[in-house]
Chain A
């Protein structure tokens, strides 16, 4: 006869991904690497920001990039000209990086280089304002980008990304006057859902704000995590 049983699990749906993320972070920690996860919608300027960051910080910090792209290596090729190792992960049809894909990238980093030489690993996630927010990859801090051309209401419409972020870069600041967008309104909307996130308006074209961003990256490297974000992350983890 069949007996019906009930097993109470109470575990997070993303349990397997979370375990993988913790495993990745343990590798980074063992090698003395700080890892940042860069997320935004397509075209917000992640690759441009990385180009500026690699150019400005490569003489101070040993960096590597893990690059998630759906089909091509175009972004990876753009970044390779800065003489920094770029590991391209072709995500296929997946709309975000998960911890298993990033583990593949970490494995290659370990095989092809001495991982202990790196200070900072920058993960460029797949362009998408929804899914990457839910899939941790082993990062020490989450960086979200929102370009002024996307509009003031995006933090309200895609709140999870902005609620999870430790640092938010409002990009393409030089275009704000042309698209009838008030940066203060974007900030106010973000503050509704995340009162503690570090917000840095930048323009990779004019260079405005970039020094503040570089400082934040250096501080993050020194602390091994985003200092302001720690409590914030803890509070979120207690939700699930």
Chain B
């Protein structure tokens, strides 16, 4: 199950950010953008995230995944199209190969929501 490793990579990246914050805030939500044309299955990622963040700085944080569709651009036809994953990737109009992916390869940490204690003055 490679989502376990993806999650490990995600946690490492998050830790870099968290440790760069002077006050080490509590992270409540991690927003991901996961493309349809990647090797990541969102449901498996949710499960792995829940298990692997226990007893870490990310404990209790929710993983919010936004999926993006695979969209390619056909240069001869000058138009976007939706390749059918597993069946047909070429342009449905002119059969040119899929050589310009406009969406669907994202594996991105979009944003983080976090809480911090306001100091009383």
Contact = CB atoms under 8 A, between A and B. Distances in A.
B116 A134 contact: no
Interface in B93-121: 97-101, 105-118
Contacts, number: 126
Interface in B3-44: 5-6, 9-10, 12-13, 16-17, 25, 28, 32, 37-40
By secondary structure, the A interface counts as mixed
A16 to B, nearest CB: 4
Given A7-B17, A14-B9, A195-B99, A160 B39 contact: yes
B46 interface: no
A17 interface: yes
Indicate the size class of the contact surface on chain B. Answer: 35 or more
Contacts of A109: none
Contacts of B57: none
B51 to A, nearest CB: 14
A103 interface: no
Name which of B37, B38, B99, B111 has the most chain A CB atoms within 10 A of its CB: B99
B98 A193 contact: yes
A10 B114 contact: no
Interface stretch (A30-38, A81-89, A90-98): A90-98
A6 B108 CA distance: 16
B79 to A, nearest CB: 18
B44 to A, nearest CB: 12
Contacts of B38: 134, 160
A196 B99 CA distance: 9
A191 interface: yes
Contacts of A130: 2, 39
Contacts of A3: 115-118
Nearest to A2: B115
A135 B85 CA distance: 21
A4 interface: yes
12 contacts: A4-B113, A8-B110, A10-B108, A11-B13, A12-B107, A12-B108, A13-B6, A13-B9, A95-B2, A156-B87, A159-B37, A192-B98
Interface of B: 1-2, 5-6, 9-10, 12-13, 16-17, 25, 28, 32, 37-40, 85-90, 97-101, 105-118
Interface of A: 1-17, 94-96, 98, 128, 130-131, 133-135, 156-157, 159-160, 191-196, 235-236, 239-240
Given A159-B86, A195-B99, 13 more contacts: A1-B117, A2-B115, A4-B113, A8-B110, A10-B109, A16-B13, A17-B12, A96-B2, A134-B2, A192-B97, A196-B99, A240-B106, A240-B108
